[in-house]
Amino acid sequence: MSTQTALDALVDAYETLTVDRVEALAACYASDARFKDPFNEVVGRPAIARVFRHMFEQVDAPRFVVTGRFPADGAAMLTWEFRLRFRGESVERVIRGASHLCFDAHGLVTMHRDYWDAAEELYAQLPVLGGLMRFLRRRLATPQV
């Protein structure tokens, strides 16, 4: 299977992901695939499915919007927005990030590594941690001339 075809199938699985379609997403991964993001590092299809089922338990209305695709031979990079609402909130939040993907000859993902800034995209938006994160950012930033 071509990288482009595999990437198209994976993007479709992410952009149409619901709690009922977690297993369909997991089927895009090799049985021994590695998945890593700022909170998880797991191996295997069942563990990857668990990460996404847990996501649906923790936040309301999660959805992925892929904003860029950069396929290569057997690998790809995606840029994306993860849109969600924290439980009990009506405000939609957006986390922007990128994923590095490797595919096997069958078009299954063997390695998935997410890159996003948890401090800026998530922690800074939380009531108590947000103030601390803004203070640290101001304290550590290079002075403007």
144 domain residue, yes or no: no
**The tokens of 131 are what?**
């103030």
Percent of the chain with pLDDT strictly greater than 90: 69
145 domain residue, yes or no: no
Burial class from Cβ neighbours inside 10 Å (0-12, 13-18, 19+) for residue 14 reads buried
| Segment holding 61, helix H or strand E | strand 59-72
pLDDT digits (tens, 9 = 90+) for 91-114: 898 989 999 999 999 999 999 999
- Nearest one of 5, 4, 24 to 16, comparing CA atoms: 24
Average pLDDT score over residue span 116-136: 62
CATH code, 27: 3.10.450.50
Identify which has the larger pLDDT, 142 or 100.
100
142 domain residue, yes or no: no
Query: How far apart, in whole angstroms, are the C-alpha atoms of residue 73 and residue 95?
Result: 28
Assess whether pLDDT exceeds 80 at residue 72: yes
**Confidence (pLDDT) at 133:** 56
What domain count does the chain have? 1
Query: How far apart, in whole angstroms, are the C-alpha atoms of residue 16 and residue 25?
Result: 9
**Confidence (pLDDT) at 112:** 98
- Which structural domain range is residue 22 located in? 3-116
133 domain residue, yes or no: no
- In total, the chain counts a number of residues equal to 145
Average pLDDT for the chain: 88
**Confidence (pLDDT) at 137:** 60
